[in-house]
Amino acid sequence: MKRTTWLFILLFLAAGPAGAQTQPWTFQQCLDTALQRNISVNQSRMSNELNKVTLEQVKSNRIPSVSASLGEALNVGKNIDPTTNTFVTEAYHSTNMGISSSYNLFNGLQNSNTIRQNRLNVQAGESDIEKAKNDVILNITTGYLQVLFAREILAAAKSQEVATIAQVDRTEKMVNAGKSPESDLLQIKAQMATDNLAVITAQNQLDMARVTLMQLMDIPITDNFEVAVPLMDETAPSTLLTNEEIYQKSLTVLPQITSASLRTSASMMALKVSQGAHWPRVSLGANMNTNYASSRTKGGAVNPEGYPFYEQVWDNIGQSFSMGIAIPIYSNRQIKSNIDRAKINLITTRLNEQNVKNVLRKSVEQTYTDMRASVKKYEATKQQVASVESVYKNAEKKFTVGVMSATDFLIQKNNYTQSQSNLIQAKYDFIFKRKILDFYQGKAIQF
């Protein structure tokens, strides 16, 4: 009994992961996986980490620098004793120790402006990360809707194939009963082969759409990958903002606009940093040092005594304090060239900011126009399908009772099949354009 129980538990645990792998992926699961694995997003994160490192480094320029030195030397022959400045001929060793500090008191506000510049770069980097995430969101949305679209096309193709198979069976009975010519059966069978090819083509398109979505998610390709079919709102929005209102809204919510604006501000700070080089530099310094020489004695030449290391080091301590002013007079045009470069970079970033805004405006205008057109097309296509379906159903009844030729029936059938395909395409085109327009307004894409 115990063996049976343990065997059941092991089989259950082993089957658990496999069963989990066959669960359909929701849109949010696809998106979360893509955001976690996407190389561009992670590269943007690492790039901004470098910006943060640079910011911390320039912040430390406000703190005095401190350095220490230690030197040991062996002197042979005639040398100057560093502790007495007298000539000695005996071999001796000496030690020099020191600690120094310097502080930049004023340098034309270059430190402060450099900190502001790098802080703006970090903020722009955060916006770049969000921009990379938005690109992933749009790609996953496109890939996810493409899978759903291909699935509906496949379902419609299979439905038409099933209907044609039923017509082949009915036509065979009519031909055997002598109520229909054999040519009708041949035409219906030819249509069945066409419908079968349409199913295969639709299946291939669905498989490719799945592969594309899995590649966007950066996961291994598997045959059992499926996406969940959400309930989607297919109604047209009752109220729609103007394209100018949507554009003005997008300027305040989309990260690429924020990033471009911050980089323009950073370029302005870079110009101020370059201009600060014209100002005098004021610096403070402090130094403390001591030394030791084994040749030095204590007590004079009559009764010399040994002079221990620690006593010498303590007795030889010296300090110094300094204040310096450096006034730039002529620097081989380096300062002016740096200012000219900063001005050109500022103009370039302003042009880039305007270009980003122009690209966004054109995208909003195009999507807005496409959205309005897709609504009209979707509503008109639904009416067309309803009309074509009525004609097809009537033709199907006539063909079944033998009062319509196979040629005329297949024309109506193909018209109905094409209208179904057009309806599916119009529906997903409308849904995609509506989602993109909402995205430009800062609304999260959800299914």
19 occurs within a structural domain: no
Question: Quick one: 58 and 84 in the same domain?
Answer: no
Position with higher pLDDT, 426 vs 304 = 426
The closest alpha carbon to 130, from 216, 54, 45, belongs to: 45
Residue with tokens 């009209």: 376
CATH for 359 = 1.20.1600.10
* 151/428 Cα distance (integer angstroms): 12
284 three-class SS: strand
> What range defines the domain where residue 434 resides?
26-63+107-279+328-440
C-alpha angle 377-380-383 in degrees, rounded to nearest 5: 150
How far is residue 358 from each of residues 131, 231, 247, 352, 433, measured CA to CA in Å? 17, 35, 10, 10, 20
Contact 192, 163 (CB under 8 A): no
- Range 173-182 contact pairs with CB under 8 angstroms and sequence separation of 24 or more: 174/402, 179/402, 180/402, 180/406
| End residue of a domain, out of 300, 327, 354 | 327
* 172/293 Cα distance (integer angstroms): 120
Question: Quick one: 185 and 212 in the same domain?
Answer: yes
Question: Quick one: 82 and 183 in the same domain?
Answer: no
pLDDT-above-70 percentage for the chain? 92
9 occurs within a structural domain: no
Question: What pLDDT is recorded for position 240?
Answer: 75
Domain count, the chain: 2
447 occurs within a structural domain: no
Per residue in 77-92, pLDDT (tens digit) is 777 766 677 777 777 7
In terms of average pLDDT, the best of 100-109, 128-137, 236-245 is 128-137
| End residue of a domain, out of 311, 327, 343 | 327
13 occurs within a structural domain: no
Which of the 8 DSSP states describes residue 80?
Answer: E
* 10/4 Cα distance (integer angstroms): 10
Question: Quick one: 202 and 295 in the same domain?
Answer: no
Whether residue 213 has pLDDT greater than 80: yes
Determine the average pLDDT of the residues in 234-261: 86
* 415/426 Cα distance (integer angstroms): 16
Question: Quick one: 367 and 407 in the same domain?
Answer: yes
* 441/447 Cα distance (integer angstroms): 17
Question: Quick one: 83 and 232 in the same domain?
Answer: no
Q: What's the alpha-carbon Rg for the chain, to the nearest Å?
A: 41
Structural tokens at position 239: 């109220």
Indicate the pTM of the whole model.
0.82
Q: How confident is the model at residue 139 (pLDDT cuts 50, 70, 90)?
A: very high
Question: Quick one: 251 and 262 in the same domain?
Answer: yes
Question: In 276-333, which residue ranges form alpha helices assigned H by DSSP?
Answer: 309-315
- Taken in order 209, 215, 220, 226, the sign of the CA dihedral is negative
Residues composing the chain = 447
Question: Quick one: 189 and 312 in the same domain?
Answer: no
Whether residue 154 has pLDDT greater than 70: yes
296 occurs within a structural domain: yes
Per residue in 180-204, pLDDT (tens digit) is 788 888 888 898 899 999 999 999 9
| End residue of a domain, out of 293, 327, 361 | 327
Question: Quick one: 311 and 424 in the same domain?
Answer: no
Contact 447, 234 (CB under 8 A): no
C-alpha angle 316-320-323 in degrees, rounded to nearest 5: 170
> pLDDT averaged over the chain?
86
Determine the average pLDDT of the residues in 65-76: 86
Question: Quick one: 284 and 372 in the same domain?
Answer: no
Residue with tokens 């300094």: 322
Question: Quick one: 56 and 85 in the same domain?
Answer: no
Taking 3-state DSSP, the helix, strand and coil percentages for the chain, each rounded to the nearest 5, stand at 70, 15, 20
14 occurs within a structural domain: no
* 84/315 Cα distance (integer angstroms): 12
* 427/262 Cα distance (integer angstroms): 39
Contacts of 130 (CB under 8 A, 6+ apart): 255
207 occurs within a structural domain: yes
187 occurs within a structural domain: yes
State the DSSP H helix or E strand holding residue 74, giving kind and residue range, or none if neither.
Answer: strand 65-75
Per residue in 254-299, pLDDT (tens digit) is 999 999 999 999 999 999 999 998 899 999 999 999 888 877 777 6
Determine the average pLDDT of the residues in 215-228: 92
Question: Quick one: 250 and 359 in the same domain?
Answer: yes
